[in-house]
Amino acid sequence: MKTYNYNTRSATLLLVVSLFSIAFAAGHVTAADPRSSHTAAPNQAPGRLIITRMANLGVNNTVKLWIDGQLTATLGYARDYEGSLTPGRHVLAVQATRSLSGSPWQMSLNVQSGQTYIFTAGGSSSGNVVLYNGGF
């Protein structure tokens, strides 16, 4: 039977917890989904997409973001999304978990090479979540 001293187990546990914490924080800061890659063609620079979530949507209400029909991010309280998109036409859609509508709100975005697009996910007068141009 192999025995370990207390310092070896503590160091190993600390290393594992640190790696999980870093991976968890990195995934939630950008809210990136590794399955969806929206990268640019080799000859064109990608466009940047930044979506901030308004705090007044509530702590227990998340905003789901779809890009071109793929679930890309889920934005919880005080979370933002930052990613890149290939130049060309894309469809952005958002919906809150406590939405009054059965379908997400959608918009079309024509991305230009090297441009940055900033939107804010916030509530509308109909009670649904929409994307507002620019940050608040």
Report pLDDT digits (tens) over 12-70. Answer: 554 444 544 454 444 444 444 443 445 545 678 999 999 999 988 888 889 999 999 99
In sequence order, which residues have a C-beta less than 8 Å from that of residue 109 and are 6 or more positions away?
Answer: 49, 85, 89, 90, 91, 92, 117
Instruction: Give CA separation, 13 vs 7, 24, 88, in Å.
Output: 10, 16, 46
pLDDT digits (tens, 9 = 90+) for 64-109: 999 999 999 999 988 999 999 999 999 999 998 876 667 899 999 9
In sequence order, which residues have a C-beta less than 8 Å from that of residue 60 and are 6 or more positions away?
Answer: 77, 98
pTM tops 0.75, yes or no: no
The pairing of beta strand 47-53 with beta strand 116-123: parallel
CA dihedral 118, 122, 67, 45 (to 10 degrees): 0
